[in-house]
Structure 1
């Protein structure tokens, strides 16, 4: 046997060289959120009183979870329906007020019939041809009077326990996450102050309480106190999400508390502790911007609902002075002003989208939209634009079913698809809203970025290492201008992108508020000249369109040309799709629906990121 002496090369190949003790792999200590998860934080099932009265009698929370995770479900109109791509998470947020009462009445549940009022309501529902209408009248009257029609603690607890245990049963960490929640439906004077309450915890903690409803109080401050008590009692975590500020008649983002007193520092701290995000878009309209507030913004008039509040049926309509306290962009600006006064920003919120559908079906895509309620599911003449259609009428106000928006979803950047990680992302505001399309978008801000960074293959890692993501504060100024990296990609099953914009709001040194929308990236090699971009020619033809225009991805590095070191500001990205058919166009093509000339048949869906904030170094208030 011949033995060959080792050469220098063979020794080099066999012997590890320890140049230093540091790790070689650059990814070992990285812990930033890499994954994008899609979900709906605001969906109603048959357990919601209004959903059940409006035709959703057959789809309880279990059906909502089944649908969201990708199963085929039979809607209340008898049609089968399925999502093209399953969601990653869902919150079934049934109204706390009268939760689960209608299903119990319909089935004649023993605990309902044992209650004298329950027995009377059951007889009204089952023995009268107009029982549903009579019952709805009683329930609505009860809600308006802030008095539960059935005040039965055992029934309320049993329904809540069933709702929470159902969510636990469908929770599948890593695959499909269910977050337990409900809706607190406050509407003093018919002004919408609704919040969705979301828990990070499982049923064992959540069922130690029962939902705090508007029957307990209509004041958000009392809801926050309840959430603080919940956390102290259980060791759990919770937050609240305001929605439909656009029908609050100026109350959602008013700069006074529920008692009409100006904000103080404690109020501002509490509001941001419990309400770190808002729902900026949903079926009942888009709340990012309003054309009266932002006349120079060509995209501000999007799915606008501004006819009034829940009292619009009685002629209580909108006045322009209310709008500044209803739309997200305006509220973000008001927050800068309040921070200058209080030292804390009460409106330092991130933005998400959800459906608020009452059908148990989280459908937000234009081509698969099953409506707000079961009364306006496909085939219900929901697109017919005359007074004979289903509508709410009040003087010169006419709301038509075709005005419902097919919106929206929440995009969450997180490490894993679990309750822990998703809830943490909601709290830190690393989330964003879309109006139904699954557009992927990242936004980073910092003082060290350059134009070359947008083309780095590791730009996301660099974004976290050298800046901050959406939802966060820029560090103390260390450069002349902040730089922003923003990049987006189309919905894999949807439309190309038209453009990316950065929306800035700021407070000048004289105390005046300003805003500006900057075009920072445009498709089809269009040049941005004096902040203007030539519109794309639409390819929409009835219920079809073409991705022959637009781009699959867009990216930009942008520095604020109007930056002033002494001025506080916020920045968020808005990503706009090319024109596509709006949902009534699909009704016409598939169902032969009659379409009135007033019905819009095109839409440009979009995404809104949570903002990044800048506070001057001389102002330590954050």
Structure 2
């Protein structure tokens, strides 16, 4: 008996020692690198320089559109250089992404595909006019080190899991998520085992990856007189706090770029990003210009557009300084992409005015879900589809919040133009087709995966609903020619729009003396420019203003899309009650009876190839700040999930195909950038903020 007790005691001691050794080993393998603030600032203090891969000159464009032309493109594309795309097995690189954007076909091949496996071929129905590959700056160096056997960090446990060399005891569908988690668990830090004690190895490798991105971007820029394609240098600053999204794409206007890209692991506040960009690019960079474009504010728990005036930890001077900095650096916002629509949401108790049924479009959290309103506080957890919802998560209400900030701080930090994007993580921005959508991530290549209802990354890192994702949208720019300078100037001026995929061409002007018959005038566009301001502009009231301003709004149907149904003008303002909204139908016919068959997606009913209207706000208050934008809506059509459920045998369809919470139909649309109305200086509103 005594001997048995000794054996049991020895076994217990051995188990404890083994557990302690395992704990020490895991601590060693997953230790965070030190963030040396001084070293980081010195590293990123170098000024922007013209890329070594840029050609010295470009030819003048053979064709120029004096009244501007609509150009369509994608400013949010991820390739296998992004750690999450690599975790999902994506093999396409930046060269592939640009070739695809220009209309070339590509094999949708994943890392684990055998050479003899037949894989899908993907191709756009029409080439894009411009694009930017925006791989994540975060984990950019880790991605390279984990795939380079010559690197000291190659044999780290995190790298073995990331590459798939070490498979955890889970089913095949979970393996890509575990590969993703191997890097995501470091959050805003770096792995000391992979990157070195101070993270320097990963910063250096990230700089090399940035050079490779530059080389591809310059290679695909058409500098000939054809001006057929424009590539922009860019990357993504991927910041998340408390499960809330604060991601931004950084887009450069020329071939002059910083020698390295700053990530959320290096600087953890958007204001730090903007300050660095101003220093390295605007203040000392060689002919360098840059903007940042936030995306997925719907995931931000109200943090993306949280007003500076409510951030009481800042002094009034700091609030004004940051508001002005943001206005200079962030003139645009993504209103839609694969992870949902960020325009608006019904059911928020802090938004007043009639419900807008079109706000239920492409929501990651079902419109029927009862969710607490965050009110005047920041929330958390929206990236995991939990937590309260805030009006400061949606572009429409951010525009109104900017009006209130103008009153309080003297500057509007949310003077935002509109674009849309894909955020595609397989190198193929395929927003042009619902019926041919093949998912946004590698595993979604198979219909059974992209039709899944819920997927969770272990450890509560992330949660998604693939069937609630969508093909994303396109950025539209009104510019005279397809060059970096012309397109980027238009982006700075906010003469931009976004679409949910179709190439709808909307225009929006405002002025004080717009003729009522302008829509019938062959010189409509030139006269609209002469009589007012285009989308992205401001209308300032004065003693000479003659009543309410007039707005001229028009749209052309996508030749390959559905007929247009209607145009709406959305107005936002803030009064003593709070955030207000109103939707006006100004052209077309919202009750035209158009429909679509759920069985075979055959459309029925008539619509319009073109729409145009001159509209005057019937509720105009000359003393009240307001913001207006237009929304162009197509006739109903089948959602991608309906197309793909219909293509499956009934017995093979997943449960999402019969889920009443998953929409069967959608109405594709386009959103213009806003026009802002500012009262005359001596005007006094009847209700103060």
| TM-score, reference length from structure 1 | 0.85
Which whole-Å CA distance do the structure 2 matches of 1:33 and 1:222 have between them? 38
What do the CA deviations read for 1:125-160 (whole angstroms, capped 9, x no partner)?
364344866653331112254667523143222111
> Which residue of structure 2 lines up, in the alignment, with residue 46 of structure 1?
80
Which whole-Å CA distance do the structure 1 matches of 2:682 and 2:359 have between them? 32
Of the candidates 182, 186, 204, which is equivalent to residue 142 of structure 1?
186
Give the C-alpha shift of residue 561 in structure 1.
Answer: 0.6
Contact 1:247–1:310 (CA under 8 A) maintained in structure 2: no
Matches within 5 A, 1:135-284: 135-145=179-189, 149-150=194-195, 151=199, 152=201, 153-173=203-223, 174-202=227-255, 205-206=256-257, 208-231=258-281, 232-235=283-286, 236-256=288-308, 260-261=313-314, 264-284=319-339
Which whole-Å CA distance do the structure 1 matches of 2:76 and 2:129 have between them? 14
Contact 1:253–1:326 (CA under 8 A) maintained in structure 2: yes
Of the candidates 58, 82, 96, which is equivalent to residue 123 of structure 2?
82
Q: 2:619 aligned with 1:552, yes or no?
A: no
Q: 2:406 aligned with 1:369, yes or no?
A: no
> Which residue of structure 1 lines up, in the alignment, with residue 15 of structure 2?
none
What number of residue pairs does the alignment pair up?
567
Which whole-Å CA distance do the structure 2 matches of 1:43 and 1:136 have between them? 18
Q: 2:342 aligned with 1:287, yes or no?
A: yes
Secondary structure of the residue that 1:41 maps to in structure 2? strand
Secondary structure of the residue that 2:443 maps to in structure 1? helix
Which whole-Å CA distance do the structure 1 matches of 2:164 and 2:618 have between them? 67
Matches within 5 A, 1:142-541: 142-145=186-189, 149-150=194-195, 151=199, 152=201, 153-173=203-223, 174-202=227-255, 205-206=256-257, 208-231=258-281, 232-235=283-286, 236-256=288-308, 260-261=313-314, 264-293=319-348, 295-306=354-365, 311=381, 317-319=386-388, 322-364=389-431, 365-385=433-453, 390=455, 399-477=464-542, 478-508=545-575, 510=576, 512-523=578-589, 533-534=590-591, 536-541=593-598
Contact 1:38–1:409 (CA under 8 A) maintained in structure 2: yes
What do the CA deviations read for 1:426-478 (whole angstroms, capped 9, x no partner)?
11100011111111010000011122111111100111111100000014342
Contact 2:88–2:176 (CA under 8 A) maintained in structure 1: no
Contact 2:267–2:273 (CA under 8 A) maintained in structure 1: yes
> Which residue of structure 2 lines up, in the alignment, with residue 608 of structure 1?
671
Secondary structure of the residue that 1:432 maps to in structure 2? strand
Contact 1:97–1:143 (CA under 8 A) maintained in structure 2: no
Give the C-alpha shift of residue 390 in structure 1.
Answer: 4.3
- Relative to 1, partners in 2 of residues 1:96 and 1:453: Cα closer, same or farther, differing over 3 Å? same
Of the candidates 658, 679, 682, which is equivalent to residue 596 of structure 1?
658
Give the C-alpha shift of residue 587 in structure 1.
Answer: 1.4
- Relative to 1, partners in 2 of residues 1:514 and 1:313: Cα closer, same or farther, differing over 3 Å? closer
> Which residue of structure 2 lines up, in the alignment, with residue 578 of structure 1?
635
Contact 2:438–2:447 (CA under 8 A) maintained in structure 1: no
Which whole-Å CA distance do the structure 2 matches of 1:260 and 1:248 have between them? 20
Runs of 4+ in 1 over 6 A off after TM superposition: 307-310, 392-395
Secondary structure of the residue that 2:489 maps to in structure 1? helix
Structure 1 window deviating more from structure 2 (117-126 vs 165-174): it is 117-126
Which whole-Å CA distance do the structure 2 matches of 1:143 and 1:454 have between them? 53
Which whole-Å CA distance do the structure 1 matches of 2:382 and 2:620 have between them? 42
Secondary structure of the residue that 2:128 maps to in structure 1? coil
Q: 2:681 aligned with 1:618, yes or no?
A: yes
- Relative to 1, partners in 2 of residues 1:417 and 1:591: Cα closer, same or farther, differing over 3 Å? farther
- Relative to 1, partners in 2 of residues 1:384 and 1:243: Cα closer, same or farther, differing over 3 Å? closer
- Relative to 1, partners in 2 of residues 1:550 and 1:301: Cα closer, same or farther, differing over 3 Å? same
- Relative to 1, partners in 2 of residues 1:393 and 1:160: Cα closer, same or farther, differing over 3 Å? closer
- CA RMSD in angstroms comes to 2.8
Secondary structure of the residue that 1:367 maps to in structure 2? coil
> Which residue of structure 1 lines up, in the alignment, with residue 114 of structure 2?
none
Secondary structure of the residue that 1:325 maps to in structure 2? helix
Contact 1:239–1:274 (CA under 8 A) maintained in structure 2: yes
| TM-score, reference length from structure 2 | 0.77
Unaligned runs of 5+ in 2: 1-63, 111-118, 169-174, 372-378, 685-689
Give the C-alpha shift of residue 415 in structure 1.
Answer: 0.9
Contact 1:324–1:330 (CA under 8 A) maintained in structure 2: yes
Contact 1:282–1:354 (CA under 8 A) maintained in structure 2: yes
Which whole-Å CA distance do the structure 1 matches of 2:167 and 2:676 have between them? 58
Contact 1:33–1:415 (CA under 8 A) maintained in structure 2: yes
